A and B are shown apart, each in its own frame.
Chain A
Amino acid sequence: MKRCLSPERATAAGLTAGVGLKPKHASDIATDPGCVTWFEVHAENYMGAGGPSHAFLTAVAARFPLSLHGVGASLGADICPNRDHLKRLRRLVDRYQPVLFSEHLAWSTHDGRFLNDLLPPAYDDATLKRVSAHVDALQEAIGRKMLLENPATYLAHSSSAIDEIDFITEVSRRTGCGLLLDINNVYVSAANHRFDPRKYLARFPFDRVGEVHLAGHARDSDEDGSLILIDAHDRPVDDAVWALFAESLPQVSGVPVLIEWDDPVPAWSELAAEAARADALMRAASLAEPRHAA
């Protein structure tokens, strides 16, 4: 039987493996959380005034550290994040006291419409200025620093003049936000834009990373038959993504790692096994590193 890092170590500073929280897993979590020491939720799913979803999250929050992950602030949009939306984020932060808060480098709103997808921003000076202002607005609204997640994209903007890593690093430098490194997103974008994910990761500013995401992706094909990967969160983490994670571990030692598997929601045993795999890799890496041996 696999051993896990003990839950006591899972403080704000030392979270280990976490998973996306699903109401379907409520009783499994209560009886045997396995190696899972923390949970992440999409903030937008808990923006109702009350009801059973809040009761569920309150019960989980009493036992486990939580991470709030926003998908609707639309930091890459042409206008500042919606004020009411920011107020609701603040209420959630106040109510649930999450140990982590993250949002995406993407836009998901236009002209009052919510598009329910993470759409790619152009990487240029004007967007850099806008995204930085929006991150500032969000951080001010919630009263704390956030983590910004690198996107999975299918298209780029012809007007993009700044490299993605330079763009993200500069937003982090200007706003003080940390970064959420989604290694599946790196792998998906690398396949879709034909770059080497290892070269990307070699340049990533790991010192700013406060959380890692791992997820499964689906395969599709382009007009010429070449591979397109879809950030689908619909299956286990791909072996190639596990390999990139293992190679990155020396640089993200001690950083909390999340397994995202959303649709269809897997059996708890399958999800817990993915968390155990991440936990085992993290343990091995922390033991291998002399500076963490004591």
Chain B
Amino acid sequence: MQPDAMSAQFTRALFDPSAPVPAGLACPPGGSVSRRFGIYRNNVTVSLIEALRAQFPATERLLGDERFRFLAREYLRADPPRDAFLGLWGAGFADFLARSEHVARHPFVPDVTRVEYAHAEATHAQDLPAIDIARLGAIAPDALEHVRLRFHPAAVLTASPFPAVTIFLDNRAPGDPPPRSLASAECGLITRPELSVRVTVISPGEHVFFSALKTGAALGDAAEAAGAADPALDFPSALARLFGAGAVADILSPQ
């Protein structure tokens, strides 16, 4: 058998327990090739479930151990890692959960999973100092609306119709999570200006404002978009929150 055909069969059988064990494998008399193949299948499955458990502990807590394991097994077969660095595996886990009938009764869970993945992204992002809001003060007031911000590599924004950030924080903390109403929408700003990840709850209006800035909009245009979404948005305190969280790496002054 050609090596690529062998590894293709081997790989298929690792991820699909109903697939036949590849031909051309051997063990001593009395032994079982399929039983031994099961050791490899188990190694792959268990180690990847463990990788997801390490990445998504709040999600695991919300779904419960048994259901999480079941869904993790389904996910690793549907979307196996494409990289030997597993620290950023699971980008599609939240969407996978959102499509699963086993999560349908807990529609807020995939959004908590999104916050958890943002936490992982922030954890492994490039190290860079964040800048202080005092830097904005050095800019002439009439030039401010043209200013653009370069976001810190670790800064990630999340949005949810549920209080996903608060539920994430509850389920990453020790002790029983307090009961929460699911009625409020909540957005998040995840940052890591130094070594510790910071998770900040932000309003939907701030989310519009920061998202526009992150994609390169000038301060004036971003404020206009955010003001349309939330006429009551307090821009000075929103900017203070953004800089205070360590989300900004540089100010790009207008030419």
Give A contacts to B, CB under 8 Å.
Answer: 44-45, 47-55, 71-73, 77-79, 85, 88, 107-117, 119, 122, 126-127, 130, 154-159, 192-194, 220, 222-224, 226, 228, 230, 263
A224 touches B26 (CB 8 A): no
**Which residues of the partner chain A approach B31 to less than 8 Å between Cβ atoms?**
222-224, 226, 228
A115 touches B11 (CB 8 A): yes
A16 to B81, CA, bound (A): 36
Within 8 A of A (CB), among B5-29: 6-8, 10-11, 14, 24-28
A130 to B4, CA, bound (A): 12
Give B contacts to A, CB under 8 Å.
Answer: 1, 3-4, 6-8, 10-11, 14, 24-28, 30-33, 35-37, 39-40, 43-44, 47-48, 50-51, 80-88, 123-128, 153-154, 192, 195-196
B40 touches A226 (CB 8 A): no
**Which residues of the partner chain A approach B126 to less than 8 Å between Cβ atoms?**
49-50
| Further 12 A-B residue pairs, CB within 8 A, beyond A116-B84, A156-B27, A222-B27 | A47-B84, A50-B126, A85-B84, A88-B85, A113-B80, A113-B82, A114-B82, A115-B44, A116-B86, A154-B39, A222-B32, A230-B39
B48 touches A51 (CB 8 A): no
**Which residues of the partner chain B approach A110 to less than 8 Å between Cβ atoms?**
7-8, 10-11
B195 touches A55 (CB 8 A): yes
A266 to B196, CA, bound (A): 25
**Which residues of the partner chain B approach A157 to less than 8 Å between Cβ atoms?**
6, 24-26
B195 touches A111 (CB 8 A): no
A51 touches B39 (CB 8 A): no
A113 to B27, CA, bound (A): 26
Contact check: which of A44, A158, A230 meets B86 at CB < 8 Å? A44
A111 touches B11 (CB 8 A): yes
A263 to B47, CA, bound (A): 11
Contact check: which of B6, B43, B50, B124 meets A49 at CB < 8 Å? B124
- Please, which residue of chain A has its CB at the minimum distance from the CB of B51? A116
Whether A228 contacts B36 in the complex (CB less than 8 A), given A115-B44, A158-B24, comes out as yes
